[in-house]
């Protein structure tokens, strides 16, 4: 099946399932159709009175450990299939959720490749990992689970506990699009995978004419110095010749929301005034340093000419997604939008991230993560 047909089939399946189970409210009635649910409930009910399971919600922040997933002496693996009908930011969120659950419960993580082979190689998350297909060849059986939001976290605890003690070799497969808000919990693992990927040797080619600047090939990078300066603790940016700032201004699909009033679109909107207010505050902290400003958006150059007051502007309008992604990862400062497409580079970045309040994924309490209010006001640490 071609990539386009596979993506279309995934969208049709997802929307049909959403209508049947969510809109009609029928999913709770189908829980017992899942073997995993029946076994988990039976195991939970069999516990002696007063017995407890290790209940914890899906958003536990810190993973238990970072295991070597190439080992084969784990009897229970878990996986979440990336939503083939969604954008790459959304698909990475799916991957992160499956990884988070594996780390949280001390399970193996069964890798499911991204449908786009170029993105799969670029991200490198599957490099040296066992896939669902690998495990099936070793005798593991796939066991589908109901929606966690419907059956509850306590039942997920029971399902995991049952299969871990059963000795069965299984892969627990979650539903598509299980939600994991605090995605920064998996940063150490995905950053290591990304930086160790074979595809990193191609980054300079992807960066093209921007490679020298973004890789600081002829200048001190000074990311920690930038962080201290932006956070207003009077550190001098000695030896740092210029600062690369990437700004993701989401437009395109959400522009229509300004006319239609569609809440799903208006909730993602941030005005040019928002971005300029953020930039005013950041640039004022960088004193007289040269600014290279990379603008990632859609539309015409004239829509963004007001940003030229901040420094040298590189208009990355309608740039191919992978080329945009790597530039955002390598920037010294990344100003994200309410979009998974810039949030995921933020997870992989070593730089400062300035992110909008009210986004549906969380931000860690870290000096390199700064949250801007809805009007663009940022409260810098002192």
The three-point CA angle 91-170-144 to 5° equals 50
Which of 211, 193, 207, 183 minimizes the C-alpha distance to 123? 193
The residues, any chain, with a CB within 8 Å of residue 125's CB and separated by 6 or more, are 95, 111, 190, 193, 194
- Shared domain for 161 and 278, answered yes or no, is no
Summarize pLDDT for 301-338 with one digit per residue, the tens.
998 999 999 999 999 999 999 999 999 999 999 999 99
Q: Which of 188, 221, 240 is the last residue of a domain?
A: 188
- Shared domain for 206 and 355, answered yes or no, is yes
**Ordered per-residue pLDDT tens for the chain, 382 residues:** 455 555 566 556 656 655 555 555 556 678 888 999 999 999 988 875 545 555 444 444 444 444 444 444 689 999 999 998 889 999 999 999 999 999 999 899 999 999 999 999 999 999 999 999 999 999 999 999 999 988 999 999 999 999 999 999 999 999 989 989 899 999 999 999 999 999 999 999 999 999 999 988 766 666 666 666 666 655 555 556 789 999 999 765 655 444 445 565 555 658 889 999 999 999 998 877 899 999 999 888 998 999 999 999 999 999 999 999 999 999 999 999 999 999 999 999 999 999 999 888 889 999 999 999 988 898 765 5
The three-point CA angle 16-11-94 to 5° equals 105
Q: Which of 188, 216, 234 is the last residue of a domain?
A: 188
Instruction: Kindly report whether the global pTM for this prediction surpasses the value 0.75.
Output: yes
- Shared domain for 14 and 64, answered yes or no, is yes
List the domain range (segments joined by +) for residue 171: 3-188
Residue 336 token pair = 């994200």
Is residue 379 in a domain?
Answer: no
User: If phi over 0 gives left and psi between -120 and 50 gives alpha, with beta otherwise, what is residue 217?
Assistant: alpha
* Residue positions counted in the chain: 382
Q: Which of 188, 217, 242 is the last residue of a domain?
A: 188
Distance CA(175)–CA(21), nearest Å, equals 12
Distance CA(12)–CA(173), nearest Å, equals 20
Count of CB atoms within 10 A of residue 207's CB? 17
Summarize pLDDT for 104-116 with one digit per residue, the tens.
998 999 999 999 9
- Shared domain for 300 and 356, answered yes or no, is yes
Is residue 177 in a domain?
Answer: yes
């Amino acid at each position: 099946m071609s990539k386009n047909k596979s993506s279309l089939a995934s969208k049709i399946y997802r929307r049909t399932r959403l209508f049947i189970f969510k809109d009609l409210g029928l999913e709770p009635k189908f829980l017992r159709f899942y073997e995993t649910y029946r076994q988990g409930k039976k195991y939970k009910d069999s516990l002696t009175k007063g017995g407890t399971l290790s209940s914890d919600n899906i958003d536990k922040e810190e993973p238990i450990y970072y295991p070597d997933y190439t080992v084969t002496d784990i009897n229970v693996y878990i996986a979440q299939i990336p939503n083939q009908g969604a954008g790459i930011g959304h698909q990475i969120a799916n991957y992160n959720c499956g990884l988070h659950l594996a780390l949280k419960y001390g399970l193996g993580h069964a890798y499911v490749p991204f449908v786009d082979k170029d993105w799969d190689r670029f991200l490198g998350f599957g490099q040296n990992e066992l896939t669902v297909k690998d495990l099936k060849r070793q005798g593991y059986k796939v066991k589908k689970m109901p929606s966690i939001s419907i059956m509850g976290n306590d039942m997920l605890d029971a399902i995991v506990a049952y299969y871990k003690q059963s000795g069965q070799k299984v892969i627990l497969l979650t539903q598509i699009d299980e939600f994991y808000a605090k995605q920064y919990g998996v940063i150490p693992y995905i950053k290591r995978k990304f930086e160790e990927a074979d595809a990193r040797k191609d980054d300079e080619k992807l960066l093209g004419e921007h490679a020298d600047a973004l890789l600081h090939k002829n200048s001190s990078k000074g990311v920690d110095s930038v962080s201290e300066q932006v956070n207003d603790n009077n550190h001098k940016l000695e030896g740092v010749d210029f600062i690369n700032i990437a700004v993701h201004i989401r437009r395109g699909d959400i522009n229509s929301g300004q006319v239609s009033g569609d809440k799903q679109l208006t909730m993602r909107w941030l005005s040019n005034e928002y971005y300029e207010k953020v930039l005013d505050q950041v640039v004022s902290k960088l004193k007289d340093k040269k600014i290279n400003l990379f603008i990632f958006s859609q539309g015409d150059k004239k829509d963004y000419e007001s940003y030229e007051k901040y420094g040298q502007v590189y208009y990355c309008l309608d740039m191919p997604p992978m080329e945009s992604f790597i530039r955002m990862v390598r920037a010294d400062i990344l100003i994200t939008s309410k979009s998974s497409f810039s949030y995921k580079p933020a997870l992989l970045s070593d730089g400062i991230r300035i992110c909008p309040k009210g986004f549906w994924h969380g931000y860690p309490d870290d000096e390199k993560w700064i949250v801007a209010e809805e009007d663009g006001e940022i409260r810098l640490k002192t």
